[in-house]
């Protein structure tokens, strides 16, 4: 009888050990899966990390890439500096492009592509712009800003854009208020840019 009892105890102990090992194995698998999942989330978030630039209709807006180019038109002698800020989205992108007079350093034109919620779901791309030729058509719109090009490769500046009108497809907007956009508090510093004419001169090329 004693032998039978010991045998039962042995079997129960063996079963308990196997069950414990199985739980440990499942726990390790779940832990590894969780780590992989978290890694994907972190990587996904890091890809969408933005640098704050300004407010669009009172809401924060940031960019994922900034670049600039300075060029002087050979025929007119006019020098222009264009700074572009792009924001990468899960689908598509947004952009704010500012063009300054490279001699007076004053903002002279701006072009925006912004995405807003669309009726029925999804997003609609809103195109907004203002430049000298369209000021008369948009008397309520206004813009101001300056740029500093004293550094040969890094630009700094600011801009204020008021009441820019969406060009088309505004009827698709979920919120009609986004038909008109105001950009406030836009400041940037040390944005890398290339001077096309100077680059060509170093290469011994005359820009036509």
Residue 137 pLDDT: 87
Note the pLDDT tens digit of each residue in 108-120. Answer: 999 999 999 999 9
* Nearest one of 165, 162, 109, 159 to 137, comparing CA atoms: 165
Note the pLDDT tens digit of each residue in 72-107. Answer: 998 999 999 999 999 999 889 999 999 999 999 999
Q: Let me know: does 126 contact 114? Beta carbons within 8 Å.
A: yes
Residue 9 pLDDT: 40
Q: What is the mean pLDDT of the chain?
A: 81
Residue 49 pLDDT: 87
Q: Let me know: does 172 contact 124? Beta carbons within 8 Å.
A: yes
Residue 41 pLDDT: 28
pLDDT band at 138 (very low <50, low <70, confident <90, very high): confident
What are the domain boundaries of the chain? 1-47, 51-203
Residue 137 pairs in a beta bridge with none
Structure tokens at 22: 């199985």
Percent of the chain predicted with pLDDT > 70: 73
What's phi and psi for 20, nearest 5 deg?
-65, -45
Q: What is the largest CA-CA distance in the chain?
A: 111
Note the pLDDT tens digit of each residue in 19-67. Answer: 444 444 444 444 433 333 333 322 223 356 899 999 999 999 999 999 9
Residue 138 to residues 4, 40, 127, 131, 135, Cα–Cα distance (Å): 98, 46, 14, 10, 5
Note the pLDDT tens digit of each residue in 153-190. Answer: 999 999 999 999 999 889 999 999 999 999 999 999 99
Percent of the chain predicted with pLDDT > 90: 64
- Quickly list DSSP for 38-86: HHHHHHHHHHT--EEEEEETTEEEEESEEEEEEEE-TTT--EEEEEEEE
- Quickly list DSSP for 181-201: EEEEEEEEEEEEEEEHHHHHH
In the predicted model, what is the mean pLDDT of residues 178-206? 87
- Quickly list DSSP for 85-138: EEEE-SSSEEEEEEEEETTT-BEEEEEEEEEEEBTTSSEEEEEEEE-GGGTTT-
Q: Let me know: does 165 contact 180? Beta carbons within 8 Å.
A: yes
pLDDT band at 136 (very low <50, low <70, confident <90, very high): confident
Residue 194 pLDDT: 95
132 vs 182 pLDDT, higher one: 182
| CA atoms lying within 13 Å on the CB side of residue 43 | 6
Q: Is the pLDDT of residue 6 over 60?
A: no
Q: Is the pLDDT of residue 123 over 80?
A: yes
């Amino acid at each position: 009888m004693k032998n039978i009892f010991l045998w039962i105890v042995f079997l129960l102990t063996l079963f308990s050990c196997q069950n414990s090992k199985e739980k440990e194995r499942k726990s390790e698998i779940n832990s590894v899966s969780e780590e992989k999942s978290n890694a994907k989330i972190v990587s996904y978030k890091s890809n969408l990390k933005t640098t704050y630039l300004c407010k669009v209709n009172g809401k924060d807006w940031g960019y994922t890439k900034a670049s600039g180019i300075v060029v002087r038109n050979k025929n007119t002698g006019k020098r222009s500096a264009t700074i572009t800020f792009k924001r990468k989205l899960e689908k598509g992108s947004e952009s704010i492009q500012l063009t300054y007079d490279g001699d007076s350093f004053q903002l002279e034109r701006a072009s925006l592509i912004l995405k807003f919620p669309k009726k029925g779901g999804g997003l609609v791309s809103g195109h907004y712009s203002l430049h000298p030729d369209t000021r008369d058509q948009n008397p309520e719109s206004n813009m101001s800003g300056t740029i500093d090009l004293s550094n040969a490769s890094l630009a700094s500046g600011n801009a204020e854009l008021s009441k820019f009108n969406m060009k088309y497809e505004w009827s698709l907007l979920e919120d009609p208020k986004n038909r008109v956009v105001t950009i406030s508090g836009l400041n940037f510093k040390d944005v890398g840019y290339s001077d096309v004419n100077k680059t060509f001169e170093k290469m011994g090329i005359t820009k036509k």
